[in-house]
Amino acid sequence: MDRSKFPEIVDGKSQYDLDSGRFVKIWNGPQHPGVTGNMALEVVISGDEVVDLKTHVGYLHRGFEKLMEQRLYIQNFPLVCRICVPEPDTNEYLYAAAVEELSGLEVPERAQWLRTLTLEMSRLASFIMWLGGQAGSFGMGTVGQWAVAVRDYVLDLFEAITGGRIYHMYITPGGVRDILPEGFDADLEDVLKKVEKFMHDAEIVLFHNAVFKKRTKGLGIITPDMIDPYGILGPNARAAGSTRDVRKDSPYAVYDKLEFNVIVGSDSDAYDRARCRFQEMQQSIELIRQIMEIMPRKGSFYNRPPNVLHWQIPPGETYVKAESTRGEYGYYVVSDGSNKPRRVYVKGPSYTHAVALFEQMAVGTNYADLPGLMVSLHTYPPEIER
Amino acid sequence: MYIATKAFYLFVSIIVALVWGLTVNGIVRKIVARVHGRIGPPVWQPFIDIIKSNAKRSMIAHGVMFYFGPVFRFAGGLGTYVFIPAVFGSVVFENLSFSGDLLLVMYFIFFGQLGMALGAGEGGHPASAIAVGRGLAQMTAFELPFALSIISLATQYNTLSITDIVAAQQAGVMSWTVFTNPLATFAALFALLGMNMHSPFDIVIAPQEIPLGPPTEYQGSLLGMLHTNRGIFVSAKLILFMNLYFGGALNLPILMVKTFAIYMLSVVVGVAFPRFRADQSIRFFLGVPTVLGILALLIQ
Amino acid sequence: MNSLIKRLKMQFDVEEQTQRSNLSFINATALQLPALLTHLRDYEKYTQLIFLTAVDRIEDNQFQLTYMLADESSQNNIGVRVRIDRENAVMTSIAHLWHHARTYQQELREMFGIDFPGSPGVNDNFILEGWEEIPPMRRDFDTREYSEKTYFPRPGRSTTHPRTAMKAVDPDYPELPLMKGRVK
Amino acid sequence: MGLKDIISPFYVWKRALEKPFTHPSPLTTRPGSDRYRGFHQNDMHKCIGCGSCETICQNAAIDLVHVDGIETTEADSGLRPKIDYGRCCWCGLCVDICTTASLTMSNEYTWVDADPEVYRFIPGADEKSWNDTDKGYRRAEGYNLLETERVDMDMTLGDDGIKSFMEVIHGYTKEQAMAEAMRCVECGVCVATCPAHMDIPDYIKAIREDRLEDALELLYRTNPMPATCGRICTHRCETVCALGHQGDPVAIRWLKRYIIDQFPAEKAIAQLEQEFEDNGLKVAIIGAGPAGLSAAYYLVRLGYNVTVYESQNKAGGMIRYGVPYYRMPEDIMDDEVTVIEKMGVILKTGIKIGRDLLFEKLMHDNNAVLMATGFESPYELSIPGEHHSRVISGIDMLDDIANGKSVEVGNVVAVIGGGNVAFDAARTARRLGADVCIYYRRRIEDMPADSEEIHEAQAEGVKIIVQSIPVHIEDNNGSPRMIWNRAEMVDQGPGKRPKPVLIQGASETADVDTIITAIGQASDYDYIPESMSGRIHFNKTRVATERLGQTAETKVFAAGDIVNSRGDAISAIADGYRAAKGIDAYLTTKKGEK
Amino acid sequence: MKSTENKIIHPLENAGVPEDQRHLYCDASPRPYPALNKYVERFLNWARANSLWILGYGTGCGAIELRPLLTSRFDISQYGMNPRPTPRQSSVFIIGGYLSVKTLKRVIRSYEQMQNPKFVVGLGSCTVNGGMYWDSYNTVNRLDYYLPVDVYVAGCMPRPEAIIAGFEKLKSTIMAGQAEGANEYAERFDWYKSNQKKIIKDWDMPDYNW
């Protein structure tokens, strides 16, 4: 991008003179409805044009990685889901998978199916909420309202399976905590129908909306050659033509037994990203149906690790990854032979999207597009700072 | 004696306009809520909000102009209303209409916004400043088709008195301006969309990036005043449009039906679209609506 | 993966450890790291930096830095591990190789106290604000103690271990050990 | 961007005609799902206060506190979890690990208050609206954080077992022991129940961490005869084990045995402290059974010069002479005694007090005397014909076998009684080649013998006839014929154990070669001289003592079976400890008086 | 926690604010406002209770359950509540669970910008006693040491229904005239400030921001 008209950057910092009257500095957040979650954007604008942006994170920092070093392996499993509030199951899965790999604990087949089911359901829920946010950030509250309501139906399903709406704490090292409740299939189908109806409506009113198109087309273009230097992942990269999808590239759980295609876009602007995600939502619904059809209904769903109060895991380190709605999510776990992990590093895809990439992309956009652009990168602050 | 009676009538008229404006607000919220798939606040919620705002105990200020903002705004709303004859032929609701009132009303419509701009600017919040900039730019943009439409109307009816324009439309439905001068009407209705600040022209108060725009810093009774003004101003705008384009009203029920229908126009559009950016909406207003306005003017 | 390791071993002094078919770790020295990473990025298609983080090996008085790279096509992962001294920890910046490495280095500077000279904004606050203790992710920082010291613990909480409580069953519960001054 | 893009958004208005998403009255009509993890419930009577919930809670949200109306008993710490809802994260791990499955979660989720201090309560004890809710999070079937089955012990049972007097139980291997040690939740409920209050959780932890030296140290702190207890202990600890509520209790006895099995006498001696300060005071102990040896061990550690007098040839008492070798091998017993001797105890065997050495002399020579003679004389059946020559007592038979004498029992043997001695006798008889049948007055669950022993005996082919009372023994051509009667259990009201009552007319006969009686033993106090008879009081057959074993004659203490009624080795060992403590206290105060 | 420690009123220092900018900020402590005439106050309280405007600041996990609450599924607008994007106009501050020190600083700023009467609702365990993050170095444990809290809602996260119940409780408290958190904050200003300053190490904001 031609940055010549923007303030000069010296040592990573823009040099602008606020007293000149040319520039106005605005803080978007942390107390601000225009940012996704509790984070802040330090924006410098000139007229309506953003000339410098700095992302400030850390408002949600709870020191998870430190806390996890202080807790037993089993005690960490309720903790990890809190790292990403809208889509906790990926965290639960990854933590369990990493611990299982390091300890050599086998997981029953049925548990893997149940895990995949919840993973896909949480993908769906997270995407629905994102869709609402994307519409809302451009001022279309109607779809936003519908979306959150429809997502709530999915949460009801989660509540029926796991006993929790937001924090499911369902995928535990060794398997899952329970099987599906009675009558779940019918409830699920009911909810999927509602979601499909919502998506049908949303497609008509949002994706065929003159104003929405006008706002999003051409906004925030990610070119393919930006993918690697900025570490772009997930739908953000796929909308730019990348075909990376962990579910396909290195299948985990039972994704190798499911049929689906990687959804790839071409325009890589905000509209195209939205389109890609929308198709991934449809794909999720399809996958859920597939899972329900071929999932085994009998058998064990939990392999007990050794007494969890004294469970020690031999020294080793591993990195496990899974595809979340924002892209590749990873857990790097180091064990030192004791009953507590030596180090758990959580790599959330928002980390690169919300800071390095967004700081770059925002420069030159209209200030009014900032919230929409941010949502179109689909970032969740808690996974940045953990 | 005459003045006292007039003042009393005016007072009644203002109260009715205020109550009706707020009620319309309440009803519209309810309707919008239905589209959202929810129940929505009670119809009387705007009234409670105003009481609540005035019940705030503490207040902060940013200088004299800051106080004047809402006062100007309120004066603008009030001024707009008091010079519009609300009900055709009614003594109580004829307000202070006179032969040149259309120009005065036009002036008052924008007076309030300008005053607000000054006050909000004094608040020191950058979001307010940005919003004011956007608001004024957008206002200028939609003012153009509106002004063109008014000029077209003035040419058509050869008068600047609202009462006269209303009187000219009393021959029946087909004599309403909307049928006699559809181009001017549509140009004005587009402007109304902008004036009502519903989507897609609500970038001025977009809560997503500039929290509420100009009134960001206002609270307590100042905010209450702004809310009160919203009641009167909505009434005034709608009555003006009703008078100019939809044949006015002979009594209060007709007034209510017509104004509500006009307001629904913004709502129908509003819930269906995201908002334009300021530059996009300016471009929009300078496009089709302005062309319509010019055409309307040319045809006359 | 194996052929890659072979090729690497020809050029660099590295040790390798395979964790899974699509994940290997290689140990490298801090000195050759930038060259190794550049090589992996430019010639071996490990174009993506997934993350960069540190593990506090306090028992060796070292930090272990792990650079996780991903292959663009096969999505295999390779973790490059480097040990650096824990005292005055300094490491070469790789911000010129990947844009987002900057934030990782900024975070490591803050949470572990590892300096990356030349990395843009590395000394700025990233997550913490007004932090005055030793960097919190270091093993010798005790978060529980800090929390109790700083954030008003709730009064009135007490617990009894069942073993203690059950002493009530027997008045002659042994006070151990029953032994007097030992001569040896 | 065509006309369609302008018109289609108005499709939103369709929603206005449909039913709203809004739930009309969410507060009352939306209960949590059947599995909802809401506020906690606790079944106060099932809960034993083991504190596993506290251990696993990563938020330190649970405190164990005393609750009014809940007494501390041997199987219940009397504590109950108190949950701080300023900490709880509703993960339900406490429910998952609850050893008794008493802790659950209701599906209630609304609790609102202005005072933060109220968010602490004891589920089940404090009055809450959700206490009796039957929906909410429960542990799923097939999901349990704790292993309910113990690691199987390798045994030689059945036909192989009865071929010889080789030890039946083989002991755990390291892997087995570690796996079994993993099961423990370290609640410590067992510690109080163990008469000797052994550090059970600690030594299990030491096994788990493979610190066997520490484990041995821990064993010898509270129990000088761990090898004995690792084999034949009645393991009350296991009956109260928290894990026993939902599965098998932790095999505490076998774990103890695993530790001591790794330490033959020399190794154990090398490991333990052996030199103690000499305080110049002398104590004599009569009887080298578990009580006597235990007291000797502790007293030596306190610096006393201790001499133990034993009438038999070897030390060990009932453990050596009353327990057959297949349960308690001779060399293990020897090792056990060796370790205690090495500590500095002087052992004088083959000396019967009253016959070889007078009690008065002991009294004179020593600063204190401890009587730990035990119960050696068998009880009689008190039925007609019991003095038949082929009616022998179990204890005598076992004694003979242990002394290497040959015992003939014939082909068919009836054993009368349901205690450990009865089973030992029966299994010994089985090893001598006889068909054995045990006759017991009550039901199997009433038997005082260990359940393992019953199980092993059955596996070895010992028949058991319960609710059978011998009424008469006749002579049938030199061998005895037993006439016995069936009995029914008559309830004696709550808190009392049911009493067997003869059923009229239901008598049967059994022709056997030998009848072994094992219905209990009594003591023989002949060694106490006349001069002291008035100064030592008796309580029925037992010596009346103070808490720490002191009799009315202040210099004389008593311990073991002659004092306590439990009649097992571990109680005797505990008694020895108590007596040692008593003697020490007595002598210390006396010294102070001087 | 009604403590009288630190009751000594000392002139505020406006710590952290450069000398030349002091005039931009208020350097007076807030003052308590007495209730009006009983009947008037009762009417006003009714209005306050039925028009609760929520400050749109999602401070923690709790924000996730506010969304269903504010939108169609649970729609608290039917109870007269609305999200407001600016603290100036809001009357209810919902603390969505844990507060990191960095957020607490912003929360205090936002809270002080709200106008009297203002109410604070604490969601979840974290606000009561630290919740899951009780031993974290970066989260405060007990909210009432830093802000006066009117209602706590138990849960982690509390369900939307529970939060509604919390609001019902808040309403009844307001109508009973007991939700005087703003006045309490003014009366015990020094105590709150000392607690806040104890953990916010870089106090680069004025002591009191209106």
Among A277-291, B184-198, B269-283, D72-86, the range with the most confident prediction by mean pLDDT is: A277-291
E134 touches chain B (CB under 8 A): no
Residue E21 sits at the chain B interface (C-beta within 8 Å): no
Residue E1 pLDDT > 60, yes or no? no
What confidence tens digit (pLDDT) does each residue in A110-142 have?
999 999 999 999 999 999 989 988 888 888 888
Question: Cβ E61–A82 below 8 Å, yes or no?
Answer: yes
Which residues of chain D are within 8 Å of residue A161 when distances are taken between CB atoms?
35
Nearest CB partner across the interface for E67, out of A59, A78, A148: A148
**pLDDT given at position E3:** 40
DSSP C22-43: TEEEEEE-TTTHHHHHHHHHHH
Contact A214 B35 (CB under 8 A): no
- pLDDT for D523 equals 78
User: What mean pLDDT is predicted for residues D516-544?
Assistant: 79
Average pLDDT, chain D: 84
Q: Which of A241-250, A284-293, D278-287 has the highest mean pLDDT?
A: A284-293
Place of tokens 């609300």: B86
Interface test with C, best of D50, D58, D191 (most C CBs within 10 A): D191
A59:E73 CB<8 A: no
Query: How do residues E144-154 score in pLDDT, each as one tens digit?
Result: 889 899 999 98
Fold adopted by D158-270: Fumarate Reductase Iron-sulfur Protein; Chain B, domain 2 (1.10.1060)
Q: Output the CA torsion sign for E55, E56, E60, E62.
A: positive
Q: Are E152 and E128 in contact (CB under 8 A)?
A: yes
pLDDT tens-digit map of B202-229: 888 777 777 777 778 888 888 888 888 8
* D5: contact with B, CB 8 A cutoff: no
The amino acid at D537: H
Backbone angles phi, psi at B291, to 5 degrees: -60, -45
Nearest-Cα distance to chain A for C183, in Å, is 37
Chain E residue set in contact with D, beta carbons under 8 Å:
72-75, 78, 122, 125, 127-132, 134-135, 142-144, 149-156, 158-162, 164-166, 168-169, 173
Cβ contact B211–E86 (<8 Å): yes
> Which of E37, E42, E89, E174 is most worth mutating to test chain B (most B CB atoms within 10 A of its CB)?
E89
Whether A337 has its CB under 8 Å from any CB of chain C: the answer is no
Local structure of residue A71 (DSSP, 8 states): S
pLDDT band at A286 (very low <50, low <70, confident <90, very high): very high
For D336-390, the pLDDT digits (tens) are 888 888 888 888 888 888 888 888 888 888 888 888 888 877 787 778 877 888 8
Note the pLDDT of residue C182. Answer: 43
Class (C level, CATH) for D378-521? alpha beta
* Annotation: CATH topology of D28-143: Alpha-Beta Plaits (3.30.70)
Do B276 and A145 lie within an 8 Å CB cutoff?
no
Residue D110 at interface with chain E, using a CB cutoff of 8 Å: yes
- pLDDT tens for D267-321 read 878 777 767 778 888 888 888 888 888 888 888 888 888 889 888 888 888 888 8
Rg from Cα positions in chain D: 31
pLDDT interval class at C184 (50, 70, 90): very low
Task: Categorize the per-residue pLDDT at E17 as very low, low, confident or very high, splitting at 50, 70 and 90.
Answer: low
Q: Residue D490 has what pLDDT?
A: 84
Helices (H), chain A: 64-69, 77-80, 88-103, 109-137, 141-162, 184-202, 210-216, 227-230, 234-238, 246-249, 270-294, 350-352, 358-362, 370-377, 382-385
Interval B42-53 mean pLDDT:
90
Q: What percent of chain B has pLDDT over 90?
A: 5
Closest C-alpha to B71, from B123, B18, B11, B112 = B112
pLDDT (0 to 100) of residue E70? 85
Cβ–Cβ < 8 Å for E35, E71: no
DSSP string, D164-198: S-S-SB----HHHHHHHHHT-----HHHHHSTT--
B87-96, D152-161, D410-419: least confidently modelled range: D152-161
pLDDT at site A5: 63
Task: Identify the H or E element spanning B265.
Answer: helix B252-270
pLDDT reported for residue E10: 45
* Identity of the amino acid at E51: S
Look at residue B300 and tell me whether its pLDDT is greater than 80. Answer: no
| Distance separating alpha carbons of residues C18 and A234, to the nearest angstrom | 26
Domain layout of chain A by residue ranges:
64-348
Residues of E with CB under 8 A from a CB of C: 101-102, 105, 129-130, 134-142, 145, 195, 198-202
* Single-letter amino acid code for the residue at A86: P
Taking residues B83-107, report their average pLDDT: 81
Structure confidence at residue C12 (pLDDT): 78
CA distance D585 to chain A (A): 41
Do B275 and A211 lie within an 8 Å CB cutoff?
A: yes
Q: Which architecture, in CATH terms, is C2-129?
A: 2-Layer Sandwich (3.30)
Secondary element (H or E) of residue D378: strand D375-378
- Residues C43 and C55: beta-carbon distance below 8 Å: no
When pLDDT is averaged across residues E61-65 and rounded to a whole number, the result is 83
Task: Give the residue, D172 or C10, on which the prediction is more confident.
Answer: D172
Q: Is residue A331 within 8 Å of residue A344, measured between CB atoms?
A: yes
Indicate yes or no: CB of B37 within 8 angstroms of CB of D10: no
pTM above 0.95, yes or no: no
- Residue E195 CB contacts under 8 Å (≥ 6 apart), including other chains: C152, E145, E146
Domain A64-348 falls under CATH 1.10.510.10: no
Mutation target to probe the E interface, by most E beta carbons within 10 A, among B28, B36, B45 is B45
Q: Which of residues 186-215 of A touch D (CB under 8 A)?
A: 201, 204-206, 208-211, 213-214
List CB contacts of C141: < 8 A, sequence separation 6 or more: A66, C133, C134, C135, E137
> Which residue type sits at B299?
I
Determine contact: D143 vs chain B, CB below 8 A.
Answer: no
Query: Which pLDDT score, from 0 to 100, does residue A189 have?
Result: 92
CB pairs under 8 A between B and D: 30
As given in the structure block, the two tokens for residue D554 are: 């202040």
Reported confidence tier of residue C15, pLDDT bands at 50, 70, 90: confident
Arithmetic mean of pLDDT, D396-412: 82
Domain boundaries, chain C: 2-129
Between residues A40 and B300, the one the model is more confident about = A40
In angstroms, how far is the first alpha carbon of chain A from the final one? 32
Which among D455, D420, D417 has a CA at the least distance from the CA of D438? D417
Q: How confident is the model at residue E23 (pLDDT cuts 50, 70, 90)?
A: low
What average pLDDT does this structure show over D223-229?
Answer: 85
Record: contact A76-D58, CB cut-off 8 A: yes
* Per-residue pLDDT at E4 exceeds 60: no
Burial class from Cβ neighbours inside 10 Å (0-12, 13-18, 19+) for residue D161 reads buried
Nearest CA in chain E to B124: E24
Model confidence pLDDT, tens digit, residues A41-90: 888 888 788 888 888 888 888 888 888 898 889 888 888 888 888 888 99
State pLDDT tens for residues C42-69.
Answer: 888 888 888 899 998 888 899 999 999 8
pLDDT computed for residue A193 by the predictor: 92
Give C-chain residues touching E202 at CB under 8 angstroms.
Answer: 129-130
Alpha-carbon gap, residue A356 to A353, rounded angstroms: 6
Alpha-carbon gap: C80 to the closest alpha carbon of chain D (Å): 33
pLDDT at C143: 87
Strand bridging mode A175-176 / A171-172: antiparallel
pLDDT > 70? residue E11: no
- Gap from B177 CA to chain E (nearest CA, Å): 39
User: What SS3 string covers D431-466?
Assistant: HCCCEEEEECCCCHHHCCCCHHHHHHHHHCCCEEEC
What is the rounded average pLDDT of the residues D544-562? 82
> D278-375+532-593, what's its fold?
FAD/NAD(P)-binding domain (3.50.50)
* Structural domains of chain E ordered from first start: 19-199 (3.40.50.12280)
Nearest to E118 by CA among E210, E1, E19: E210
Q: Which of E138, E198, E201, E205 to mutate to test the interface with C (most CBs of C within 10 A)?
A: E138
User: What pLDDT band is residue E172 in, cutting at 50, 70 and 90?
Assistant: very high
| D20 contact B CB<8A | yes
Q: How confident is the model at residue C103 (pLDDT cuts 50, 70, 90)?
A: confident
Please say whether the beta carbons of D229 and D256 come within 8 A.
yes
Interface check for D581 against chain C (CB to CB < 8 A): the answer is yes
**Residue A196: its pLDDT value, please?**
92
* Non-local CB neighbours of A318 within 8 Å, separated by 6+ positions: A98, A101, A102, A332, A333, C19, C20, C23
Q: Which of B255-269, D156-170, D540-554 has the highest mean pLDDT?
A: B255-269
Q: Is it the case that residue A243 has pLDDT exceeding 80?
A: yes
pLDDT of residue A284: 92
In the numeric block, which tokens belong to residue A318?
A: 């591993």
DSSP conformation letters of D245-300: GTSPPP-HHHHHHHHHHT--HHHHHHHS---B-----EEEEE--SHHHHHHHHHHH
pLDDT in tens, E67-122: 888 888 888 888 888 888 888 888 899 888 888 888 888 888 888 888 888 899 98
Which stretch of A168-177, A336-345, D164-173 has the lowest confidence by average pLDDT?
Answer: D164-173
